[in-house]
Structure formats: structure tokens, C-alpha cells
Structure 1
Amino acid sequence: MKLYGVTGWKNTGKTTLTERLVAHMVTQGLRVSTVKHAHHDTEIDHPGRDSFRHRQAGAGQVLVVSPARWALMTELRDAPEPPLDAMLARLDPCDLVLIEGYKSAPHPKVETYRAEAGRDLLATRNPTIRAIAADCAVDTALPRFDLDDVPAIAALIRAELGL
């Protein structure tokens, strides 16, 4: 599995770029999976659903299976967050895993940047960032792409990973 990340500050377009990269690369015949890191208590299940009730009752894991999909939810119950490598090992084989977040992990990344976010570039202190996708000019020696130039960003990722 080849890994490439999309990182950046909050509200800079990480999810939109990741979604568009997945759609673009799938049309090119690649099998793509994603990992999304959240810094808050993420709730993917909803109160009142059977699986939610199972978790609330104390189940450590709940496996939901339907004809369309299956999902395994694991409650950490105060255990430490598993490392990225442990989570990647749970994925089925694919050509590319796009990882949203995980700023400090060692895989290569493209940074999303929006002037209105009012934050500095992460790339100035993060050597794993290989390119910037921005909505404005940025002062960097790294390759810089428009946030909407998905084909060019995808081409960079494919070239760097040999896909």
C-alpha cells in the first residue's frame, strides 16, 4: 500500500481535496482507501440506533453488517489511541491510501492552505509536506497548486509514489 497525506489547518479544504482526489484517482483505475484523523470525540453512530445502544451498553466492539456495507466500531474506553500503522494494517489491500490529518506522521503530504484561515504554512516546519494546494500565492520553494487543480495534484502524488 502506498500512502500520501492531505494535511493543513482547520477549514482549509482538506476534506474537499481528499474527496476530489479519491474520485479522480478511482476514475483512473486505482483502488483507493482513506484514513481520516480527528482530534475530537468522533461519533459515527447516532442515538437510538441499535449499534449505538450496543456501544452504550458497554460492548467493546460492534460490527454492523448489511447487504450494502459493513462497519466495525471499537470503543477505546480510556485506552490510548492506536498508532496509524495499527490502523493501516486493518485496511484491505489497495493501490493508495489517502490520509487526511496526521500532520506529524512520516508519510509524504500535500498541505491545504487558505489565506482566510489566517494561519502560517505548516510546510515551513514539516519536511514531510511535499507541495502546497492554496487559494492564493504562497512564499514557498515547494510545488504550489491551486486548490481546485485536482488533476495536477493527483499527477504529483502518482509520480512521487510511482503509481
Structure 2
Amino acid sequence: MVKPVLFQVAGYQNSGKTTLSLRLIKELTAAGLKVATVKHHGHGGRPEVVEAKDSDMHVKAGAAVSLVEGGGRMIIHAENGQWSLSEEIDMLSFFKPDVILIEGYKNEPYPKAVILRDESDLELVEKLHNIQVVLCRKPGLSNLLKDSALPVLNMDDGVCWILEYITNK
């Protein structure tokens, strides 16, 4: 296994990206792999932070980064104009994960699974790059992709396929 293995979970909002990511994290961790994740906050604006805590006040006072540690848990609060995915991956690489799961960032070039909810999502198969597997949530949707060179699977079979893909890297 080349470390870390990078793998994306892509799809439109409410397609099941987080559900799939959680299943993969649990399975990969159970297999003894150290997993790091990056999630794109795709709902617009900035992710919520706990305000009025010391770390938040440090950042509001001008600190570029504030790190809080206690009992083995670390929380890093950093402000920047915009973080690129490659910068985020570089930060996570410090923790020496075996796998970095990327949820969202569908237009990035990393190997990915794309989740299709229904026929309206089919455009993603043509639009996105480096798709390794297509996962269909709607029964029968895979019939519309029967001529695809890509594996087209239901969600459960897709989890197994992705686990095998990652562990064989």
C-alpha cells in the first residue's frame, strides 16, 4: 500500500456521501488502517465554530492558527482566505495516515467513487475525472450505464469494491 492512499467520495448534495464515508471509515479502521478525512463544507459560508471559547478568541484577536489539546484530542482552528485541497492534504499527511478519504471536492483529480441518486445525476459520469466506480442509489439506474467501462454497483457492493481498491493500493 502506497501511503497515504487518496480516495474521493463524490456526488451531489444528499446523495449519500457522508453515509458512505462513515461506512468506509468504520471498515478501514476495523481493518487496522489509520484514516484521515477531508470534508468540503458545501453548504456555503464557513463551517461553524464554538464561539466564545479561548481558541476562537485567540483567532479573533489575530492568531493565524489556534491549537487546543486535552486528553489526547486536538482541535486546530485556522483562518485563511481559502485553503486548497492539496494544502489540506499536506496538513493531514503530518499525521501519517494510511488513507485520506476526501468527501466532496468532486472536480478534483483524485481517484473517486461517484454516487448517483437518480437519472438527473447521470451527467456526473461524463463530467467528472478519475472515476473508479459508480454507485447507484436507485434500483434500475445501473441499467442506464450498462455500456459503461466503469464498474457500476449498488451502495453495499460499492463499499466492498472501494475497500478492496484501497487495500490493494
- State the TM-score bracket (shorter-chain normalisation): 0.7 to 0.9
Note the C-alpha offset of 1:83. Answer: 2.0
8 A Cα contact 1:134 1:145, kept in partner = yes
State the TM-score, normalizing by the size of structure 1. Answer: 0.84
What one-letter code is carried by the residue in structure 1 that aligns with 2:132?
R
Find the counterpart in structure 1 of residue 60 from structure 2.
56
* Equivalences, count: 156
Q: Percent identity?
A: 33
Deviations along 1:103-152, one digit per CA (max 9) or x if unpaired, are 12111100112128x43341212231111111122323121221233223
Structure 2: state its 5+ residue gaps. Answer: none
Q: Does 1:94 align with 2:103?
A: no
Q: Does 1:75 align with 2:79?
A: yes
Note the C-alpha offset of 1:72. Answer: 1.3
Distance in 2 between the 1:23 and 1:44 partners? 25
8 A Cα contact 1:45 1:51, kept in partner = no
Q: Identify, as 1 or 2, the structure richer in helix.
A: 2
State the TM-score, normalizing by the size of structure 2. Answer: 0.81
Structure 1: state its 5+ residue gaps. Answer: none
Counterpart among 128, 131, 134 of residue 132 in structure 1: 134
Secondary structure of 2:51's partner? coil
Instruction: State the Cα RMSD in Å.
Output: 2.0
Distance in 2 between the 1:146 and 1:3 partners? 22
Distance in 1 between the 2:38 and 2:89 partners? 8
8 A Cα contact 1:24 1:151, kept in partner = no
Q: Which moved more, 1:6-15 or 1:149-158?
A: 149-158
